Amino acid sequence: MTLAHFLAVNPPYWVETLTKIGIGLVAVLLPTGALVYLFLFKMMSFMQSRLGPMEAGPYGQLQLLAEFGKFLQKEDIFPSKADRFVFAAAPFVVLVSTFMLVLVLPAGPDTHFIDLNTGIYFAMAVSSISVIGILMAGWGSASKYSLLGGIRAAGQLIAYELPLVLSVVGVVIMAGTLNMKGIVAAQADFGVWFIIPQFLGFLIFLVAIQAELTQPPFDMPVAESELVTGYLTEYSGIRFLLFFIGEFATAAVFSAIGATLFLGGWTIPFVDANAEIMDYIGPLVLAGKMILIAFLIFWFRITYPRFREDQLQRLAWKFLIPLSLFNIVVTAIFKVVF
Amino acid sequence: MPQLPGMLVGLGVTAKTFFKTVFPDGPTKPPAPSKGAHTVQYPHEKEAPPARARGVIALHHDNCTACMLCARECPDWCIYIEGHKELAPPRRAGGKPRQKNKLDRFDIDFALCMYCGICVDVCPFDALFWSPEFEFSEMKIADMLHDKGRLADWMHTVPEYPAYEAGAEVKIKKLPSPSS
Ligand code: SF4
Ligand code: SF4
């Protein structure tokens, strides 16, 4: 999204970069806060027949600010044997991976940060950087719980990266492009959103991002009954908060990616996808679709108990990966035949 | 995939709870989660604990003989009793004056108490009672030590014993009235 596009001036490079950073921060933090409040605070409470936060602001809407203030005040504790640099840097690695994901998300015909020809490929590649951050956290903490949690997370994320990528391949075959905007345009041309022809792929994608986000029922890396909180055990204060933001921001971004791939991104049926107005309502439409997918993620999170480690690996390698390969083959055959 | 139907039922359970909480009066009425939720918003409305709940211990000190049984059985040693002997007027005219234990001090330190109820069970003279009252937190931990007067004040919050079930042995215990 260029500033010139909105202001009809051509700002210097640094102004444009700063503006982009600011918009990027808002674009990540606002949906994240919305998801945490809507789903983690409120929907989860209602599904457990309680009210959730009610005191801070009307219906607890300011609770997030209160939590933020609380984490800021806390001491930033380093374990005495920790590898200090690795320990300190880990949350930022996770966060950077999230912020880089947003870069390729289009929210309108001209509303985007960068228009990469290999957008979805870039997103899948960048999303796996977070594994490194989690491994760094597990290793740097010098604690057996953290190490076990980090290794579990690495095993899980690698196992579920495959079905995730393979389920995306189905969409890519149908769209004939790796460009995120191209995929959105292909859905507009195709007539229906890819969730209909790629329903199997959508299901695999949902399960895989659930595991990628280490949300229950796939939260073995932080299994509190076995590992305290896994790789987060030794973190406190602001660094814990960064991990927390990273977790839910990634949930928001992955939901948005899912909305782009399967629910037609910023487009609305029967409205010209390239109309000028879509630059302004496109982000809202995308946010609405993102909340729809996030709703599914959090609904599963709230409903299901945790898998066992071996069940999780079996599900990925023996079931999801063959299924997604089958999905690719069927999609390819249809693409060639019709 | 034999687990699949069960997983769908699970989703149904959470969804049903959600709608029951948000729309307690049915989907046509406006949402009222504070009515649908099972929880009580404590500082705003007070929860009504069951009559036999273990909130705080009340002392009916006219019944207490300073026999020290409760203090000795208390696992935390958080009951402090002091007393002295007194001469009471004889029962019958011309009789010998009776000896009576007079209670000087009876404190329970609720900062130590673990609410096991052994003292209430063990008292042979019906001097200790459970009250469901639970609002007695303090800013200073030393104030959690309730003395004789404060423990006696809890007596009026002790509920009457509930009636036994039909067909049970009819031997209903009566609370001692403050005047007796
Ligand atoms: S209820 Fe409290 S005071 Fe009574 S015996 Fe148990 S610990 Fe001691
Ligand atoms: S056991 Fe009962 S009678 Fe004896 S000292 Fe304790 S409260 Fe008093």
Is some CB atom of chain A closer than 8 A to the CB atom of B13?
yes
Mean pLDDT for all residues in chain B: 84
Give the residue on B whose Cα is nearest the Cα of A39: B18
What atom of ligand 2 comes closest to residue B126's alpha carbon? 2
Give the residue on B whose Cα is nearest the Cα of A48: B17
What's the confidence (pLDDT) of residue B1?
66
Chain A residues near residue B41 by CB distance under 8 angstroms: 51, 54
State the average pLDDT over residues A16-39.
84
3 state SS of A292:
helix
pLDDT over threshold 60, residue A173: yes
pLDDT tens-digit series, residues A278-330: 777 778 888 888 888 999 899 988 888 888 888 888 888 888 888 888 888 88
What's the confidence (pLDDT) of residue A16?
80
pLDDT over threshold 60, residue B179: no
DSSP label at residue B157: G
- Torsion A314-A317-A322-A323 (CA) sign: positive
CA distance A31 to A64: 13
Least confident of A249-258, B15-24, B78-87: B15-24
Contact between chains at B18 and A43 (C-beta distance less than 8 A) = yes
Contact between chains at A304 and B22 (C-beta distance less than 8 A) = no
Chain A residues near residue B8 by CB distance under 8 angstroms: none
Query: Where are chain A's structural domains?
Result: 75-337
Q: Which residue CA neighbors atom 3 of ligand 2 most closely?
A: B64
Nearest to B10 among A45, A51, A304 (CB): A304
Which tops the pLDDT comparison, A43 or A338? A43
What atom of ligand 2 comes closest to residue B122's alpha carbon? 1
pLDDT over threshold 80, residue A108: no
State the average pLDDT over residues B141-165.
85
What's the confidence (pLDDT) of residue B180?
45
Q: Which residue has the tokens 């290794």?
A: A151
Nearest to A289 by CA among A8, A31, A25: A31
Which tops the pLDDT comparison, A225 or B112? B112
pLDDT over threshold 70, residue B177: no
Contacts 24+ apart (CB under 8 A), A131-134: A131/A157, A131/A158, A132/A93, A133/A90, A133/A91, A133/A92, A133/A93, A133/A94, A133/A95, A133/A96, A133/A97, A133/A246, A134/A90, A134/A94, A134/A221, A134/A231
CA distance B47 to B133: 10
What's the confidence (pLDDT) of residue A1?
47
Percent of the residues in chain B that have a pLDDT greater than 70, as a whole number: 93
Percent of the residues in chain A that have a pLDDT greater than 70, as a whole number: 97
In the structure, which protein residues have their CB atom closer than 6 angstroms to any atom of ligand 2? B 64-70, 81, 122-123, 125, 127-128
ipTM: 0.72
Compute the distance from residue B177 Cα to the ligand 1 centre, in Å.
23
Which tops the pLDDT comparison, A327 or B169? A327
Token pair in block for residue A139: 């290793």
Which tops the pLDDT comparison, A140 or B168? A140
What's the confidence (pLDDT) of residue B173?
64
Q: Which residues contact A188 (CB under 8 A, 6 or more apart)?
A: A264, A267, A273
To probe the interface with B, which of A43, A303, A311, A323 has the most B CB atoms within 10 Å?
Answer: A303
pLDDT over threshold 60, residue A6: no
Q: How many CA atoms lie within 13 A of A227 on its CB side?
A: 24
